[in-house]
Structure 1
Amino acid sequence: MIGTRPWLLSAPALVLFLVMLVTPLIMTAVLSFNSFDFYGGIKPTFGLGNYADVLSDSYFYEIFGRTFMIALVTTVIAALIGTPQAYFMLRMHPFWRSVMILVVLGPLLISVVVRTLGWAILLGNNGVINEALRRFDMIERPIKMMYTSGGIVLALVHVMVPFMILAVWAALQRQDPATEKAAESLGAGPFTVFRRIVLPQAMPGILSGSLIVFSLSASAFATPAILGGRRVKVASTTVYDEFLNTLNWPLGAAIAIILLVAVLAIMVAWNRLVEKRFAGVFQ
């Protein structure tokens, strides 16, 4: 009975996981092997034609390259911002730390559509940023920020930084404060303490936060759809177009499965690379 008790306790979560995640993924994978005809619709055949179409077309390579580049840049910027911020939060007074946690979690409390529309107001040709620069005579023509990869990255960083901060902060909480004081007593400067003491202990949090940020950024839909429009297409918006515009569901399913497999492969490779090759760099 003791051996079956953990399974019984986790059964509701497992059932929910199977129904809400695994089943749709299996159905999407099966759909990706079907064929499509513009006159006859979806045909219940089995083949690799959709995958061949995606993997043999340079158009899709460009889309996937743009998707992963946006996700990578977003991850790097989030790590550069989130790691020092988590360290500062750790050293704050408990009251101000609680306030800062609310500030950090603020972007996550707002709907992704509302948040992205707010960025559209800021980044538009007649938006707040361009109008402010014009009034200070800093520009003559508006800076193009909407419908660019840079605008998408900026908006994604806004919401992804909290994930990085929380992951690094959780890792730094296990740090022994005496190690920093010992290093300072031996003559180490602030930069040396951060590089040799703080950063190695923060690496697990940076790694886990990077994996979260990268995967969420690579699969983001609302932000690229609103700020990128039709000019800057990524994998998620391409899947949307195939499902709702051309109605080629099998091809859209194949793109979705390829995106999923690619993200998982990158995450696993990234995890092993960092653990094996960079674990002792800062020691």
Structure 2
Amino acid sequence: MTGAATRTQPRPLAPFLLAAPATLLFVGLILLPLALTAVLSFNVYDYSSGVRNQYTTANYLTVLQDPYYLAIFWRTLRLALLTTVIAVLLGTPEAYILTRMGKPWRSIFLLVIIGPLLVSVVVRTFGWSMLLGRDGLVNHALAVLGLEPVQLLYTETAIVIALVHIMLPFMVIPVWTALQKLDPTVEAAALSLGASRFTALRRVVFPQATLGILSGSLIVFGLSASAFAIPGLLGGRRLKMAATVVYDEYLIELNWPLGAAIAIIVLLANLAIMLAYNRMVERQAKRRLG
């Protein structure tokens, strides 16, 4: 009887009531707009009358069969992957060095890393446009060295440079947080047992940083693939990425259903890539860490 009474005892409502505001905020700001965008992507668009209350899959077929949009998707994926790889290669050693710093240098360098996040991404992008322009500081430095000026602005190189600069803190902070949990005596024990510095980093430090690298790379890839200001200002009208194409369809062509279809395709592609990468890295981390 006691067991039956325990099983039929009503669950407390306090956890649900506490989670209700956050749930409503999530539904209202994320799920509902996504659902409306998905519905809009199936609407028929007529250039003479606008969006019609009719539904079709022609918008998705247009995007997936047009080489123009496929080339933009491939450029977005390629630049996002390249940005993520460079951010991992730069951010992981930077986070490791940060963990080995003592006070007050750790706080100073942490402020230097986080400081750019306090400046608008548009302002930072304008700064890079002045640095990489034809008469910018980079070409002036090349001229001083006796070298010919190079075209950096409105190229994929400029987009990647700015993306790495802006996304690097999102890689350093997760890796640094993961390495904070590592006991320094473990690495010292590996060195005292005859392991080289590289072996200690590869067998002791890197497996502990794997989850931080996973978190940081997912953030960097997602933000890079959906970046708008940097491709728009440094890539110009010629080098379009997915976000700039969606902007053009919404505000220039006024073809909202086609823009919504492009946005949904980019969202699904990002989710598929990030989930597959997440599962692959977590499987390797479990294998290494037991």
TM over 0.5: yes
Partner of 1:194: 201
- Tell me if the contact between 1:31 and 1:249 (Cα under 8 Å) persists in the aligned partners: yes
Query: Which residues of 2 match residues 84-95 of structure 1 at below 5 A?
Result: 84-95=93-104
Partner of 2:161: 154
Query: Which residues of 2 match residues 246-257 of structure 1 at below 5 A?
Result: 246-257=253-264
- Aligned match of 2:66 in 42, 57, 65? 57
- Aligned match of 2:218 in 196, 211, 214? 211
- Aligned match of 2:266 in 259, 268, 272? 259
How much does 1:181 deviate?
Answer: 1.0
Other structure's SS at 2:45 match:
strand
* 2:269 counterpart of 1:269: no
How much does 1:64 deviate?
Answer: 0.4
Other structure's SS at 1:125 match:
coil
Q: Runs of 5+ in structure 2 lacking a partner?
A: 1-9
Q: 1:3 to 1:282 in 2, by over 3 A?
A: closer
- Tell me if the contact between 2:134 and 2:151 (Cα under 8 Å) persists in the aligned partners: yes
Partner of 2:138: 129
Partner of 2:249: 242
Q: 1:132 to 1:282 in 2, by over 3 A?
A: farther
* 2:82 counterpart of 1:66: no
After superposing the two structures, state which structure 1 stretch, 170-179 or 60-69, moved more: 170-179
Partner of 2:127: 118
Other structure's SS at 2:55 match:
coil
How much does 1:180 deviate?
Answer: 0.5
After superposing the two structures, state which structure 1 stretch, 6-15 or 119-128, moved more: 6-15
Q: Which has the larger radius of gyration?
A: 2
- Aligned match of 1:109 in 118, 124, 133? 118
Q: Distance in 2 between matches of 1:124 and 1:282?
A: 47
After superposing the two structures, state which structure 1 stretch, 35-44 or 271-280, moved more: 271-280
Q: Distance in 2 between matches of 1:59 and 1:138?
A: 36
Q: Distance in 1 between matches of 2:136 and 2:286?
A: 44
Q: TM-score, normalised by structure 1?
A: 0.96
Partner of 1:33: 42
- Tell me if the contact between 1:196 and 1:282 (Cα under 8 Å) persists in the aligned partners: no
After superposing the two structures, state which structure 1 stretch, 9-18 or 190-199, moved more: 9-18
Q: Distance in 2 between matches of 1:264 and 1:168?
A: 22
- Tell me if the contact between 2:211 and 2:285 (Cα under 8 Å) persists in the aligned partners: no
How much does 1:277 deviate?
Answer: 4.4
Flag as ranges the 4+ runs of structure 1 deviating above 2 A.
275-283
Q: Could you give the per-residue CA deviations for residues 175-220 of structure 1, whole angstroms, max 9, x where no partner exists? A: 1212111101111121111111100110000011100100000001
Q: Could you give the per-residue CA deviations for residues 250-276 of structure 1, whole angstroms, max 9, x where no partner exists? A: 000000000000000000011112222
How much does 1:280 deviate?
Answer: 4.0
Q: Distance in 2 between matches of 1:69 and 1:100?
A: 31
Partner of 1:138: 147
How much does 1:3 deviate?
Answer: 2.9
Partner of 1:226: 233
C-alpha RMSD of the superposition: 1.5
After superposing the two structures, state which structure 1 stretch, 152-161 or 184-193, moved more: 184-193
Q: Distance in 2 between matches of 1:129 and 1:215?
A: 29
Partner of 1:4: 13
> What is the number of equivalent residue pairs in this alignment?
281
Q: Could you give the per-residue CA deviations for residues 40-99 of structure 1, whole angstroms, max 9, x where no partner exists? A: 111111121100111111111100000011100000000001101111111100311111
